[in-house]
Structure 1
Amino acid sequence: MVDCVVRNWQGEEVGQATLDLRVAKEESAAHIVHRAMVRQMTNSRQGTVSTKTRAEVSGGGRKPWRQKGTGRARAGSIRSPLWRGGGVIFGPKPRDFNIKMNRKERRLALRTAFQSRTEDLIVVEDFAAQLPRPKTKELIGAFARWGITAESKVLLILPEVEEMVYLSARNLSTVKLISATSLNVYDILNADKIVTTNTALAKIQEVYSE
């Protein structure tokens, strides 16, 4: 169980929130989080790259020249891998890179990764009402008041993706906005700072408790 300070829009401390997730044992935590990370990165590969073998390249049905008497090397097809425009030897073909991992293991890895970032976790009050219109400058100012530097990579977690917050954050290349039900290991570990609201934190504990 971890106690987190809750800040308001102005950056003032206004209360506390508790983060209590069931995580992996210390001796196996790094291993299971690493497996989940590798799975996510590997499963994002499309695997659609493809080359043609000499059997698939069009043309080449006729022998280019007779076997003997020309002084040239013997050739049976203009689509030989040795020729320009020919087939490819042992080239890549479409394949499925997906790695399987049990659902319970995935959720355990996610909880473990999230709770391991408590030192970089910033809990704030719901601030959607503070942005009645899209205003990137105001969101940047709020980040500064919460102690986030301009170059930090920020993962912003909300209960639901609010339109005005999304429009205010979309021009910031260092900010990634996701909902509390869309957590993933890569985004959690890749961010320098994680900002979430107290409502989103409660939802995370509700959704990922088991």
Structure 2
Amino acid sequence: MVNCNVKNWQGEEVGQATLELKVAKEENAAHILHRAVTRQLTNARQGTASAKTRAEVRGGGRKPWRQKGTGRARAGSIRSPLWRGGGVIFGPKPRDFNLKMNRKERRLALRTALGGRAEDLIVVENFAEQLPQPKTKELALALSRWGVEANQKVALILVDSPDSIYLSARNLCYVKLLRADGLNVYDLLNADKIVATSEALAKIQEVYND
């Protein structure tokens, strides 16, 4: 169980919030997190890299010179991989890099990642009303009042992202906006601080604690 102080828009503590998640055993936690991060990064690869073999490069059908008598090394095609403009030996071809991981394992990894970042978790009240219009500067000042130091990477978790908050966070290169029902292990581990609203914390408890 994780106990957190809830802060308001001004950075004052106004209450308490708890988060109770079933996490992996200590001896298995590093392994399952490694698998989850590897899967996420690998599945993000497009797999569209492609190079032509000597059979696919245009031209090279005619033997450039006769086999014997020229004094030069024998050659059968100007598209040999040994030649400039020739094919590529064992070059990349389009492929599927996707790795599979059971749903229960994925959710366990997510809960373990979140539970392991308890010390860096900051819980705040819903602040959508404080930003009726997009104001990047106001959001940056609020993050500093909540305890985020300059240029620390922040995962900002909300139940939903109104346009005013989305547009305010968009210009802050160190802020990653996440929905409470669409979290991922990499962003949780990559962030220096995790800022979540109390509503988002309740949503996480509802969605992932099974």
Same fold by TM-score greater than 0.5: yes
Give the TM-score normalised by the residue count of structure 1. Answer: 0.98
What one-letter code is carried by the residue in structure 2 that aligns with 1:40? Q
Q: CA RMSD in A?
A: 0.9
1:39 matched residue in structure 2: 39
1:49-198 aligned at under 5 Å gives the runs 49-198=49-198
Provide runs of 4+ in structure 1 moved above 6 Å: none
User: Equivalents in 2 of 1:38, 1:3: separation in Å?
Assistant: 30
Amino acid at match of 1:181: D
Deviation at 1:70, TM superposition (A): 2.6
SS at match of 1:181: coil
TM-score by length of structure 2 reads 0.98
Taking the aligned partners of 2:158 and 2:8, their CA distance within structure 1 comes to 15
Moved more, 183-192 or 83-92: 83-92
Aligned residue number for residue 7 of structure 1: 7
Letter in 1 for 2:39: R
Q: SS at 2:18's partner residue? A: strand
- Count of aligned positions: 210
Q: Distance in 2 between matches of 1:43 and 1:102?
A: 14
Residues 123-173 of structure 1, C-alpha deviations (whole Å, 9 max, x = no match): 000001000111011111111111111110000000001110010110010
1:3 maps to a residue whose letter is N
Give the Cα separation in 2 of the matches to 1:89 and 1:34. Answer: 33
Percent pairwise identity: 76
Which ranges of structure 2 fall in alignment gaps of 5 or more residues?
none
2: distance between equivalents of 1:107 and 1:161? 23
Note the residue ranges of structure 1 that are not aligned, 5 or more in a row: none
